[in-house]
Amino acid sequence: MSTTGSISFAVPRSAPRRDPPAREAGVLLWLRKNLFSSVYNSALTLLALWALFVTIPDFVAWAFVDAVWQTDDPAACRAAAGACWAVVAEKHRVMLFGTFPYDEHWRAVAVIAVVIAMAIVSVFKRFWSYWLFVAWLGATGIVLLLLLGGLFGLTPTGTHQWGGLPLTLLMFVGTVVGGMPLAIMLALGRRSSLPAIKAICIGFIEIVRGVPLITVLFMASLMFPLFMPEGLTIDKFLRAQIGMILFFAAYAAEIVRGGLQAIPRGQYEAADAIGLGYWQKTGRIVLPQALRIVLPALMNDIIRAFKNTTFVSIIGLFDVLGATATALEDPLWVLYALEAYVFIFVLYFVFCYAMSKYSERVERDLSKGRNL
Amino acid sequence: MIEQISHAPRRQAPAKRPPLSLSGLWHSLAVRSWAYQIAVVAAVIGMAVYMVGNAQDAMERRGIATGFGFLGEEAGFDIGESLIAFNSENSFLRAYGVAVLNTLKVSVFSILFATLIGVVLGIARLSSNVLVAKLSAAYVEIFRNTPQLVQIIFWYTLITQLPAPKQAFSLFDAVFLTNRGLILPWPEADPVYLWTALALVCACGAAVLLLRWADRLRRRTGRRVRVVWWNLGLILAAPLLVWSLGGAPTAVSIPYLKGFNFTGGLAVSPEFLALLLGLSLYIAAFIAEIVRSGIQSVGKGQIEASRSICLRPSDTYRKVILPQALRVIVPPTAAQYVSLVKNSSLGVAIGYPELFNVNNTIVTLSGHTTEAIAMMMAIYLSISFSIAVVMNLYNRAVQIKER
């Protein structure tokens, strides 16, 4: 400033501050600009306000003012005009942990803690490496140990006793951890120059993507035992897990393929030029770049995998949704099913919303050209 | 030229053939790729043969007959709602027909609603009106970030907790919303309506031809003919004419309470209603996002350019923004439609008789697990592929036409 000051003829003195005209600033302007900028916009605003006015007070009265928060007597709920959140207070153990033995619920809580802690660690870019995948494998091992028991003095609990949030989370983690390598293999196979491998990968991807997930799960739970040799039975949970993995892999493969296509040819050629083999080229040059590009799209699929874990309740596993349905079989509380479903609606929303916000941030970083 | 300059002896070095060895073979690219492929194909075929063999053993042990002969047998079960007549004496094949029609029925209505709501929300999200934009954003976040199955079950629970027919919510004493579903007044069946619908289709066809003719005329001679009003008139007048020629039937069946339930009118079952809401409101959130990003993908310069050549705002929207946005919007929307049709299989959770649900019953009753599942898979695959083909055609129509 000092150097320019000597050259400039202008007197460095600021004009006295004046307040902006009343119509050009403040709340009124904001209202005019954002809500009442034209006749049409004013009409829209009034319409939206009217809709909110009609619904919000009634909803607040139902959900909060007249609601019953805690009682072990359903009759108290029947007397009240509002929601009966007491059903959640009464049944939350069944809804969150299913038929897992009551005394072992601390293990279920530990499972939830491990998965959430791993998810938080995965958010930070400094931890991104192939080791993170290994860490997830390790976490899956700990979760399995906690859920199965039988070692270190833990009471053994069979998969038929699993349920609630731990089952949902394990199914989700298992789907992504098991599905990602398969997805990458399928995507590489689809871009392979070997026609037979390419055909098999295309066939698998297109067929699985062409049918509903529930039919894949149905096949896994009904047809799989038929295809196995006699005497060999595979656990019901594992069968559902395999179905979920196959479905997730087929969708994720298409996204990974998009990333592979987006890597410039020069990268492949440079890797060839310095004499890297196929796997070195893929693992060290192509995949790290491709996976970063497609991360937002991949996050969408991962969120969908989380939402899709509810499908296993249809084939008789007790995930959060299935456990809630079981909890509501109690004739005393069945009238308040709506409140119970609102509760798990919010529960699922918290998980998915967190993931989708994260994915939005990654997308913003990518579009700004920042290195991930 | 070169031969004169170059003094190098023009003699090719004899190709040195490496001695034939196993490791040499393994380093030949062709041999290796063949080896990989043969290994993978052999593994896949081997596994398939092994698994099918196991399945055949298992079925023989249990004495299950194979083959699609069972399709002609008597079904022996009833289906709650169907578009074609069906009772328990009809065949399994007809049950499949009913199921597919039910799946298509709920899918078509859901796609219509989802598109309508999604487009409105997508545009609303870009509105300069903050309240409208925020409300739309909140809708999208809530419905996109919760499982569709939970939503469907939530709607079903909500509908079953509505008051009984005697205390039904009513609109003008004609439309009733109860725990038995939605009951609407409906015109009484008359063949004239079929002809009216036909006339409407023909009028739409004629309108398209007229538009094309006007377009060709404008391109050839530069003369503009406004056919909008002609077209609107045609589309309105033709069905009206047919309808009045057919005696103008006006009989409408209005539902009324009789005993514990409603008679007359058109009853929409709670299952259909819940599935319709669950499918369309969920997919609408995704379509809203697609529409928003499609419109945002049109460059600002395009809009400024169209203003600078004095296009009206409506024309800017119709002729500049929309054609370019559609190119971005159509492919992902097609994927959402396919996803919607596939997820109609969630109707099984609330007892709507769609394909997956009916197929479950057929598996249980006929015992032909493999054939029934193969049948269901084939039907779903062909529906998915048909939508993909239709949307690809439409996509080709909206893509940039280069000379």
**Does residue A115 share a domain with residue A184?**
yes
Identify whether A162 is part of a domain: yes
What was the pLDDT predicted at B402? 57
CA distances from B270 to A319, B114, B273, B351, B366 (A): 25, 19, 5, 10, 29
Q: Which of residues 12-41 of A touch B (CB under 8 A)?
A: 34-35, 37, 41
**Does residue A132 share a domain with residue A61?**
no
Mean pLDDT value across chain B: 83
Could you tell me what percent of chain B has a pLDDT over 70?
92
- Out of A228, A308, A314, the one facing B54 most closely (by C-beta) is A228
Q: Which residues pair with B181 in a beta bridge?
A: B178
CA distance B254 to B263: 8
Q: What's the mean pLDDT in B46-75? A: 78
Contact A321, B148 (CB under 8 A): no
- Out of B132, B147, B345, the one facing A215 most closely (by C-beta) is B345
Q: Which residue of B has its CA nearest to A307?
A: B147
Structure tokens belonging to residue B347 = 């109707």
To the nearest whole Å, the CA of A152 is away from the closest chain B CA by 37
Instruction: Give the total number of structural domains in chain A.
Output: 2
Amino acid in the structure at residue A213: L
What was the pLDDT predicted at B139? 94
CA distance A209 to A251: 7
B141 touches chain A (CB under 8 A): yes
**Does residue A185 share a domain with residue A43?**
no
Q: Is B54 close to A229, i.e. CB distance below 8 A? A: yes
- Which helix (H) or strand (E) covers residue A242, if one does? helix A236-262
Q: Is B144 close to A356, i.e. CB distance below 8 A? A: yes
Q: Please tell me what DSSP assigns to residue A125.
A: G
Q: Please tell me what DSSP assigns to residue B183.
A: E
What was the pLDDT predicted at A304? 92
One DSSP character per residue, A17-65 reads P-PPPGGGSHHHHHHHHHT-SSHHHHHHHHHHHHHHHHHHHHHHIIIII
**Does residue A170 share a domain with residue A43?**
no
- Out of B36, B37, B384, the one facing A210 most closely (by C-beta) is B384
**Does residue A242 share a domain with residue A103?**
yes
**Does residue A169 share a domain with residue A314?**
yes
**B117-149 pLDDT, tens digit each:** 999 999 889 888 888 899 999 999 999 999 999
CA distances from A261 to A200, A256, B161, B293 (A): 19, 9, 52, 22
- Out of B142, B151, B373, the one facing A223 most closely (by C-beta) is B373
A316 touches chain B (CB under 8 A): no
To the nearest whole Å, the CA of B151 is away from the closest chain A CA by 8
Q: Is B377 close to A344, i.e. CB distance below 8 A? A: no
Contacts of B59 in chain A (CB under 8 A): 226
**A341-372 pLDDT, tens digit each:** 999 999 999 999 999 998 888 888 877 765 55
Q: Which residue of A has its CA nearest to B32?
A: A194
- Out of B36, B141, B377, the one facing A353 most closely (by C-beta) is B141
Q: Which residue of B has its CA nearest to A49?
A: B131
**Does residue A53 share a domain with residue A146?**
no
Contact A306, A172 (CB under 8 A): yes
Q: Is B59 close to A226, i.e. CB distance below 8 A? A: yes
**Does residue A148 share a domain with residue A266?**
yes
Identify whether A11 is part of a domain: no
In this structure, what is the dihedral angle of CA atoms A105, A107, A109, A113, given to the nearest 10 degrees? Answer: 180
Q: Is B41 close to A196, i.e. CB distance below 8 A? A: yes
CA distance B133 to B140: 11
State whether residue B147 is helix, strand or coil: coil
Residue B156 has pLDDT above 90, yes or no: yes
Q: Is B348 close to A311, i.e. CB distance below 8 A? A: no
**B77-107 pLDDT, tens digit each:** 778 787 777 777 778 888 888 899 999 999 9
Does residue B364 or residue A310 have the better pLDDT? A310
Least confident of A143-152, B283-292, B357-366: A143-152
Contacts of B145 in chain A (CB under 8 A): 303, 348-349, 352-353, 356
Q: Which residue of A has its CA nearest to B161?
A: A335
A224 touches chain B (CB under 8 A): no
One DSSP character per residue, B242-306 reads HHHHTT----EE--EEETTEEESSEEEPHHHHHHHHHHHHHHHHHHHHHHHHHHHTS-HHHHHHH
- Out of A34, A197, A353, the one facing B37 most closely (by C-beta) is A197
Identify whether A15 is part of a domain: no
State whether residue B181 is helix, strand or coil: strand
Half-sphere exposure of B72 (CA within 13 A, CB side): 3
Q: What's the mean pLDDT in B185-194? A: 75
Residue ranges in chain A modelled with pLDDT below 50: 1-5
Q: What is the domain range of residue A51?
A: 35-65
Residue B1 has pLDDT above 50, yes or no: no
Q: Are strands B261-263 and B175-178 parallel, antiparallel or unpaired?
A: unpaired
CA distance A172 to A183: 15
Provide the pLDDT confidence category of residue B307 given band limits of 50, 70 and 90.
confident
What was the pLDDT predicted at B2? 47
Provide the pLDDT confidence category of residue B215 given band limits of 50, 70 and 90.
confident
Identify whether A184 is part of a domain: yes
B92-162+270-398 maps to CATH 3.40.50.720? no
Q: Is B149 close to A196, i.e. CB distance below 8 A? A: no
